[in-house]
Amino acid sequence: MTVRGPALALLGVLPVMACSRASSPGVVEASTEAPQTSATASVRSPVDAPAAPAHEDLAPPGAAKRTTLAALERAPLLRPQLARLRQHFGGDGGQDARGPFLMQTVQLATGRDGVLVSRADERDPIVLALDRDQLVFAKDHPLAGIAPPVVHATLAPAPERGLAVFAYVESMHILAARMWADDANPYADLEVFHPDACDMLAVGYEAGVGWIVACTSKAGTRAQRLRDDLTSGWGREGIAVGTAGPVTQSEIGFDGPAVWTLTQRARAVGGDRTLTFRYDVAGQPL
């Protein structure tokens, strides 16, 4: 395997998402009312549509859409892969392949999809690259070799139809990334940055900008930019962004080639509010 960018300090440790505790810069754009929908709003499927997911979040391009599934067959995208998934989660007999499950999906070039499926508590993740109904490749143990506990595994696109998984290594306070090319070959294991804690991870990708990752904890949100050449842009501990208050959801989006946005649903007196912050690629608030 070819490793590009900063290599991991210890064999068998792959960095995963982490969040530092620090105050954030001022709000650039903030709603003063709780909107009905947003980039992170929840959508419930009708009760009379048994094939629909139980719960899914909307996500901007370049970010994973998250869906909660009562059963694997509830997701049309997964139905052609049911035999493989039932074996993964339930063994040869599939006896333990019972929900609920968490599914993350990202759109790749030329009609491909990247998928990460895990149990509701994030155990037993599997990564799939799909070309319509065809399985291009699968990674049954995408976090293998990383010192546990590893939490908040989050899927993202990578250049040229590749896939990336970001996650937080709690024992080492590292946000890490592992990447595969479109032919299934691994090409990078990276330490992205070193936040103190991570209760929630958001990742977005834009060609030419790279990845923006944001780790949220009780003390606030810290972000890091990982460029397409796999170098970090904002130092070892990243930068403080977003709101300093309690957050229930975060999403990364992009507004052109030089601007990115952080949308957070924050708790407030009178009801949750959705706040949107805009930054340039140097991390400066707009």
* Every domain of the chain and the residues it spans: 29-280
Identity of the amino acid at 38: S
Average pLDDT over residues 215-229: 95
Identify which has the larger pLDDT, 95 or 19. Answer: 95
Task: Kindly report each contact of residues 127-132 with a partner whose C-beta sits within 8 Å and lies 24 or more positions away, as own/partner.
Answer: 127/155, 127/163, 127/165, 127/180, 128/81, 129/161, 129/163, 129/180, 129/182, 129/184, 130/77, 130/81
pLDDT digits (tens, 9 = 90+) for 135-144: 999 999 999 9
**Confidence at residue 60, expressed as pLDDT on a 0 to 100 scale:** 75
Lowest mean pLDDT among 5-19, 224-238, 240-254: 5-19
User: What's the pLDDT at 11?
Assistant: 31
Q: How many CB atoms lie within 10 A of CB 44?
A: 10
Q: What residues contact 92, with CB distance under 8 A and at least 6 apart?
A: none
Q: Which comes out higher in pLDDT, residue 176 or 12?
A: 176
Could you tell me the pLDDT band of residue 189, with boundaries at 50, 70 and 90? Answer: very high
Confidence band (pLDDT; 50, 70, 90) for 268?
A: confident
Phi/psi-derived region of residue 243, left when phi > 0, alpha when psi is between -120 and 50, beta in every other case: beta
**76 near 69, Cβ under 8 Å?**
no
* pLDDT score for 28: 40
* Inter-residue long-range contacts of 132-137, CB under 8 Å, 24+ positions, other chains counted: 133/80, 134/80, 135/80, 135/81, 135/84, 136/112, 136/182, 136/184, 137/180, 137/183, 137/184
pLDDT-derived band at 119 (thresholds 50, 70, 90) equals very high
Predicted pLDDT of residue 58 = 59
Residues contacting residue 260 through CB under 8 Å, at least 6 positions apart: 204, 206, 209, 212, 252, 253, 254, 278, 279, 280, 281
DSSP E strands, the chain: 29-30, 42-43, 55-57, 65-69, 101-107, 112-119, 126-131, 134-139, 150-158, 162-169, 174-180, 186-193, 200-206, 210-217, 220-226, 239-241, 247-254, 259-266, 273-280
Mean pLDDT of 216-227: 95
pLDDT band for position 4 (50/70/90)?
Answer: very low
Judged against a pLDDT cut of 50, whether residue 196 lies above it is answered with yes
> Torsions phi, psi of 199, nearest 5?
-95, -20
Give yes or no for residue 38 having a pLDDT over 90.
Answer: no
For the record, the structure tokens of 79 come out as 């139905």
The domain 29-280 is classified under which CATH number: 3.30.70, 2.115.10, 1.20.120, 2.30.30? 2.115.10
Residue type, 133: D
Cα within 13 Å of Cα(276), Cβ side: 16
